[in-house]
Amino acid sequence: METILLINGKETGDMSKGAYNTGLIDTARETLKDHYEILETVIEDGYDAAEEYEKFKKADIVVYQYPVFWFSCPAIVKKYIDDVYGYDLFFGHSDGPYGTGGLMAGKKLMLSTTWNAPLTVFDNPDSLFEGLSFDQALVSMKVTHKYCGFEILPHFHAHNIVQAPNFEEDSKRFAAHLTDTLLQPNAQAAE
Amino acid sequence: MKKILVLYAHPRPERSEVNQVMATAVQSLDHVTYVDLYADYPAFDIDVKREQDRLVAHDIIIFQHPLYWYSTPAILKEWQDLVLQHGFAYGSTGRALAGKVCMNVLTAGAARAYYTEGGALGREMRDFLAPFESMAGLCRMHYVPPFSLYGAGYHADETVTYTHAEDYRRLLIALGRDHFDYQAAANVPELSDGLDQFILKG
C-alpha cells in the first residue's frame, strides 16, 4: 500500500477560519483511506522539522491543501517549507544541470487551493489582473517541488469561497479529482 | 525627495555578505527608512498598526530579500498577510496605498541565464514575482520590475557585489528625486540588465 501525506496549510485569522480547507482535507482522507496509508500534518498545530522529513521520506504522494493569500501560500506554509526543505534532505549537490539535485525523485505532489477570487478574473485582459494567468500564483510552489525531484500532479482549485461558498459541490469535485488522479488504473499522469 | 521604505527580510543576515554591503550602501540616505523585519519581529509578532503607519508615511516601498524557494522568506509573506488588511490596502474603502510605488530588490543564487524562457527555470524572475505584481494591482500601487543580483551564492564576486550595491544606491537616489523613467521600465523583465536606461539625467 502506498502512502499519502496530507498537509493542511490553513492559517486561522480574522478573515479565514480554516474550516473550508479542513473540510477538504476530510474529503481527501475519506476518499483515499481504503487505498493508501494516510499521514497528516496540520502546520498551524506545530511541527518538528526532522519528523516532517521522515513523513516526506515515507510518502509516495504529498497533497498540500491551503487557502491562497496574496496570490501565494499563507506565511506559515512558506515558513514550513523554509524550515523543513533542507539541504541534503530535499535537495543536494548535483554535477548535472541546474535542478537535477532533487532527493525526492519518484514522489508526486498535488496542490489543492481555495480562492476568494472567481476563476473568471484570470486570463482575462479586462480584469484587475490584466490577463494574469491563474497558474502564475502557483509557479513558486511548482518549481520548488520540481527542484526537489517531485512530479507535479494535476491541481485542484475551489473559487469564490468567501462570497459564494458551495462546500458540498467543491467537496464532490475534489473527491472526483482525487479519484481520477489517484485511484484509477494508469492514473497519476503528471501535468 | 520621495520617501522610500526598505523592508529587508533575511532570516540569517550575518550569512549574507551581499545584503550587508547593499544595506550599507543605502542606509545613510536621508530619504530612506531601512527596516530589518527579522530583527524587529524575531517571533513573527508583527505590529500591524506600526507597519501600516510606516507604509502611509512613505511613497515608495522596496521589498529587499534573498529569493527563498522562488519566493520571499516567510516573514515577508507574514507581513503581507497581516499588514495589508481589507479596508486599508484594498477593498472599496481601502485606499491607503493607492498611487504608491513598490518593487522587489533581491538576491538569487542561480545565474541570470537560468531565469529566462529558454533557461533552466523557463521564466524570468519577474514571473516568479507575479504575486507581488498582482498585489500591487489590487492595492492600486504602481509596480516596478525587480532589481536582482544573480549568482549571489557563497562565491559571489566582490567587485560584482560592490558594483551592484552602488547601483542600488543610484536607483534609490533616482527614485527619490523622481528621476526614474517608469514608462521605459514598465515592461522589462529585470532592471539590473541595464539600470542606466531608466535613470533620467538632470
Query: Is residue B151 helix, strand or coil?
Result: coil
Select from B44, B120, B134 the Cβ nearest to the Cβ of A132.
Answer: B134
> Where is B61: in which H helix or E strand?
strand B60-66
Q: What are phi and psi of A91, to 5 degrees?
A: -150, 155
Show residues of chain A in contact with B94, CB under 8 Å: none
Residue whose C-alpha cell reads 527619490 in the numeric block: B176
Q: Calculate ∠ Cα B158-B125-B104, nearest 5°.
A: 75
Flag whether pLDDT at A136 surpasses 70: yes
Contact predicate B171/B2, CB 8 Å: no
Residue type, B49: K
d(CA A129, CA A120): 11
Give the tens place of pLDDT for each residue, A64-122: 999 999 999 999 999 999 999 999 999 998 888 888 889 999 999 999 999 988 888 88
Q: What is the mean pLDDT of residues B70-91?
A: 96
Flag whether pLDDT at A54 surpasses 60: yes
Three-class SS of chain A: CCEEEEEECCCCECCECCHHHHHHHHHHHHHHCCCCEEEEEEHHHCCCHHHHHHHHHHCCEEEEEEECECCECCHHHHHHHHHHCCECCCECCCCCCCCCCECCCCCEEEEEEECCCCHHHCCCCCCCCCCCCHHHHHHHHHHHHHHCCCEECCCEEECCCCCCCCHHHHHHHHHHHHHHHHHCCCCCCCC
Confidence band for A187, pLDDT divided at 50, 70 and 90? low
Give the tens place of pLDDT for each residue, B146-185: 999 999 876 678 899 999 999 999 999 999 999 999 999 9
d(CA A105, CA A100): 10
Query: Is residue B183 helix, strand or coil?
Result: helix
What is the pLDDT at residue A14? 76
A46 touches chain B (CB under 8 A): no
- Cα A53 to Cα A40, A43, A63, A80, A101: the distances in Å are 13, 13, 15, 11, 17
Give the tens place of pLDDT for each residue, B15-61: 788 999 999 999 999 999 999 999 999 999 999 999 999 999 999 99
Q: Calculate ∠ Cα B114-B117-B121, nearest 5°.
A: 40
Select from B74, B82, B123 the Cβ nearest to the Cβ of A82.
Answer: B74
**d(CA A139, nearest CA chain B) in Å:** 6
> Where is B74: in which H helix or E strand?
helix B74-83
What is the pLDDT at residue A137? 82
Flag whether pLDDT at A128 surpasses 90: no
pTM for this prediction: 0.93
Show residues of chain A in contact with B74, CB under 8 Å: 75-76, 78-79, 82
A85 touches chain B (CB under 8 A): yes
Contact predicate B112/B186, CB 8 Å: no
d(CA B48, CA B33): 17
Contact predicate A159/A118, CB 8 Å: yes
- Cα B139 to Cα A14, A78, B90, B92, B132: the distances in Å are 20, 22, 5, 10, 10
C-alpha cell at B144: 516596478
Select from B70, B81, B131 the Cβ nearest to the Cβ of A143.
Answer: B70
Contact predicate B80/B16, CB 8 Å: no
- Measured between CA atoms, the residue of chain A closest to residue B110 is A98
Residue type, A81: I
Between chains, do A85 and B44 touch, taking CB under 8 Å as contact? no
- Measured between CA atoms, the residue of chain A closest to residue B67 is A140
Q: Which residues contact A72 (CB under 8 A, 6 or more apart)?
A: A78, A137, A140, B71, B77, B131
Between chains, do B130 and A75 touch, taking CB under 8 Å as contact? no
C-alpha cell at B49: 498598526
